[in-house]
Amino acid sequence: MTFPLSAVVLAAGEGTRMKSARPKPVHLLCGRPMVLHVVDALSELDVDRAVVVVGHGAERVTKALLERAPAHLAIDFVEQRVQRGTGDAVSVALTAFPDDDMEDGEIVVLPGDTPLLRPSTLAALVRRHRDQGAAASVLTTKLTNPTGYGRVVRDKNDRVARIVEEADATAEERAIDEVNTSIYCFRRSVLAPALRRLSPENAQGEYYLTDVIEVLHDAGYPVVSLVVQDALEAAGVNDRSQLAVAEAELRSRTNQLWMQRGVTMLDPARTYIDATVELGLDVTLFPGTMLQGNTVVGPGAQLGPDCRLIDCSVAENAVVEHTVGRQAEIGADARVGPFASLGPGSRVPPGTVTGPFFSAAAHDENDEER
């Protein structure tokens, strides 16, 4: 029997290490807010509802999700007004569920700063949870240098017994190379009671969600794990360096996807495509091409080298070289550049050859009357 599946996304943190006025969950990766990439991980699951816990910059995080989240996914928002740890955040999230909705079913819990998690990995975690009849399942990975991560402590039967945060770990526990990714699946009926047993008596003075694992294990409930082989999937983004690593990985995945769909890239490492861009069949992208926003490129078009197009439309078989364009329209079979500048609202008619050093502003319908 398959029970209803819900999701909780923890996106309340301030992200002080980002050194930014922008809330961490809405920092952009391949043109989309980071938290949206996390929501993407739910795409292979039949999730009946998702609850997002917001806090710092709540309005901006809420707005980003309401405007861009998949239309089929119902999202509710709850605010964690005081940051008292991940355990408290999940307790706040559960207030969005009716009391009679907590008896059956499962809840996946995701941090809002793990944008590299693949949908297939999360689906595998839920399958393992169900196959094993687990009360809790945790996604783990193994790191050569586990510094900064919570360690997974196993019992004598090699079952997950508890997770200890590094600040609270002994020297022996810090030597463990299996770490917590903060990605879980819980049986609904046992989660709330376990959360009520948490204590803030730890190095951070917070309610750790990780402590739920020990509570359930000690109560005799089955707790299982799934070890993800690609540790990068579970990597959190806490500063600008980690943001750059995530951007490079997501860009590589995006480029691979488009090449599989029939797009030619002469140098994928020097080709930058936002996740919001649409490309037609047999498009050729030369090195230094950067396509951003809602840019749409028609079949057979050739872009680059060194083009940056933002929210532009490029029709079929157009050729665009050494060009910067923003909110511009390029017609079919047009040849633009080299060294062209297309301003917002400008239009290059079909078949036009602009020549070098071309500059265009918005088209004015009254120009012909002058």
**pLDDT tens-digit map of 133-154:** 999 999 999 999 999 899 999 9
Q: Domain for residue 240, yes or no?
A: no
Whether 344 shows a pLDDT value over 90: the answer reads yes
Q: Are residues 42 and 113 in the same domain?
A: yes
Q: Domain for residue 249, yes or no?
A: no
**pLDDT tens-digit map of 212-225:** 999 999 999 999 99
In this prediction, residue 191 carries a pLDDT of 96
Q: Are residues 204 and 296 in the same domain?
A: no
In this prediction, residue 2 carries a pLDDT of 61
Written as one letter, the residue type at 102 is: M
In this prediction, residue 101 carries a pLDDT of 55
The band of 268, judged by pLDDT with boundaries at 50, 70 and 90, is: very high
Q: Domain for residue 195, yes or no?
A: yes
Whether 243 shows a pLDDT value over 90: the answer reads yes
What predicted TM-score, i.e. pTM, was given to this entire model? Answer: 0.91
Number of domains in the chain: 2
Residue 40, both tokens: 């993407």
Q: Are residues 189 and 333 in the same domain?
A: no
- Which CATH number belongs to the domain containing residue 358 in this structure? 2.160.10.10
- Reference 314, options 361, 346, 356, 269; nearest CA is 346
Task: State the DSSP string of 219-273.
Answer: TT--EEEEE-S-GGGG----SHHHHHHHHHHHHHHHHHHHHHTT-EES-GGGEEE
Q: Are residues 185 and 223 in the same domain?
A: yes
Q: Domain for residue 251, yes or no?
A: no
Whether 208 shows a pLDDT value over 80: the answer reads yes
- Contacts of residue 356, Cβ cutoff 8 Å, sequence gap at least 6: 337, 338, 339, 340
Q: Are residues 93 and 163 in the same domain?
A: yes
The percentage of residues in the chain with a pLDDT greater than 70, rounded to a whole number, is 96
- Which CATH number belongs to the domain containing residue 185 in this structure? 3.90.550.10
Q: Domain for residue 254, yes or no?
A: no
User: What average pLDDT does the segment 220-237 reach?
Assistant: 95
**pLDDT tens-digit map of 290-337:** 999 999 999 999 999 999 999 999 999 999 999 999 999 999 999 999
Top pLDDT among 4 and 221 is at: 221
Mean pLDDT, the chain, whole residue set: 93
Q: Are residues 147 and 68 in the same domain?
A: yes
Q: Are residues 151 and 271 in the same domain?
A: no
Count CB-CB contacts under 10 A for residue 97: 18
**pLDDT tens-digit map of 38-88:** 999 999 999 988 999 999 999 999 999 999 988 888 899 999 999 899 999
The band of 103, judged by pLDDT with boundaries at 50, 70 and 90, is: low
The band of 366, judged by pLDDT with boundaries at 50, 70 and 90, is: very low
Written as one letter, the residue type at 35 is: V
The percentage of residues in the chain with a pLDDT greater than 90, rounded to a whole number, is 88
User: What average pLDDT does the segment 256-279 reach?
Assistant: 98
Q: Are residues 126 and 215 in the same domain?
A: yes
Top pLDDT among 256 and 1 is at: 256
Q: Are residues 296 and 223 in the same domain?
A: no
C-alpha distance from residue 332 to each of 238, 248, 337, 338, 358 (Å): 44, 32, 15, 17, 18
Q: Domain for residue 247, yes or no?
A: no
Q: Are residues 340 and 222 in the same domain?
A: no
Q: Domain for residue 244, yes or no?
A: no
Q: Domain for residue 239, yes or no?
A: no
Domain that holds residue 329: 261-369
Task: State the DSSP string of 96-107.
Answer: TS-GGGSSS-EE
The band of 364, judged by pLDDT with boundaries at 50, 70 and 90, is: very low
Whether 367 shows a pLDDT value over 50: the answer reads no
**Residues involved in catalysis:** 17
Q: Are residues 303 and 216 in the same domain?
A: no
- φ/ψ region of 16 (left if φ > 0, alpha if ψ in -120 to 50, else beta) reads alpha
- Mean pLDDT highest for which of 2-11, 230-239, 291-300? 291-300
Q: Are residues 193 and 230 in the same domain?
A: yes
Alpha helices of the chain — where are they, by DSSP H?
Answer: 34-40, 58-68, 86-94, 119-131, 171-174, 188-195, 211-218, 240-260
User: What average pLDDT does the segment 271-286 reach?
Assistant: 98
